[in-house]
């Protein structure tokens, strides 16, 4: 595997959603054509029956996926994951999203102090959070899903206990402002 393909694979591993060829080219400071060639190399190596990880390309974007041949095993695991109780890190992340949302992944990670990619993916798979592009933040933001709001017995996050206290917490605002060097206006 060449160096460019390895870098792309690393980016895809951390990404929670498809990454466009254009974005990869900008990030890696190469031509989009080079990205396409490297992705084809990754597909040749990964999209084989003996690999659990496959490279999925759709709409000029690429993401990691699982081998379709293992769907039955993955369905079992997915069912177990979605029926299991939430872990403490998942609950912490869900609480941050509930009280500070809409919120970006880097902001969540700054508050928690750890990478939250897998946790956010699991919460989204379970239908607890919604990820959407936000033009204001120029990246994805997370909010509670309507399903989660119904489960909590509220119509909107503002109805949660002590919502204003935590949503408008100046200590958290200053922490996020110091790290990102931009005013937080949620």
Whether residue 92 has pLDDT greater than 70 = yes
pLDDT value of position 78: 63
Reported as a single tens digit per residue, the pLDDT across 134-143 is 777 678 889 9
Domain-wise residue ranges, the chain: 3-70, 85-180
Which position has the higher pLDDT, 85 or 116?
Answer: 116
- Class (C level, CATH) for 3-70: mainly alpha
**Residue 185 pLDDT > 60:** no
The neighbour count for residue 155, using CB atoms within 10 Å, is 10
Tell me: pLDDT of 122 over 60.
Answer: yes
Q: Give the whole-number percent of the chain exceeding pLDDT 70.
A: 89
Q: Backbone dihedral region of 60: left (phi > 0), alpha (psi from -120 to 50 degrees) or beta?
A: left
Residue 186 is predicted with a pLDDT of: 47
What's the token pair of residue 71?
């769907």
Give the residue with greater pLDDT, 70 vs 40.
40
Predicted local distance difference test score (pLDDT) of residue 179: 58
* CATH fold label, 85-180: Arc Repressor Mutant, subunit A (1.10.10)
The sign of the CA dihedral 169, 174, 180, 181 is: positive
């Amino acid at each position: 595997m060449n160096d460019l393909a390895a870098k792309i694979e690393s980016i895809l591993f951390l990404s929670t959603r498809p990454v466009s060829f254009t974005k990869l080219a900008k990030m890696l400071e190469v031509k989009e054509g080079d990205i396409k060639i490297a992705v084809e190399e990754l597909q040749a190596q990964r999209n084989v029956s003996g690999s659990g990880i496959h490279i999925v390309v759709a709409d000029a974007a690429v993401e990691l996926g699982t081998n379709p041949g293992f769907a039955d095993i993955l369905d079992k695991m997915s069912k177990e994951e979605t029926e299991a109780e939430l872990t403490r890190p998942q609950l912490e992340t869900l609480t941050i999203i509930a009280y500070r949302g809409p919120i970006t992944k880097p902001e969540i990670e700054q508050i928690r102090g750890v990478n939250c990619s897998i946790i956010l993916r699991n919460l989204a798979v379970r239908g607890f959070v919604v990820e959407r592009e936000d033009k204001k933040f120029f990246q994805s933001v997370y909010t509670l899903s309507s399903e989660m709001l119904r489960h909590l017995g509220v119509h909107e996050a503002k109805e949660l206990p002590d919502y204003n206290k935590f949503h408008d917490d100046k200590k958290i605002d200053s922490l996020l402002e110091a790290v990102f060097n931009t005013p937080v206006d949620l």
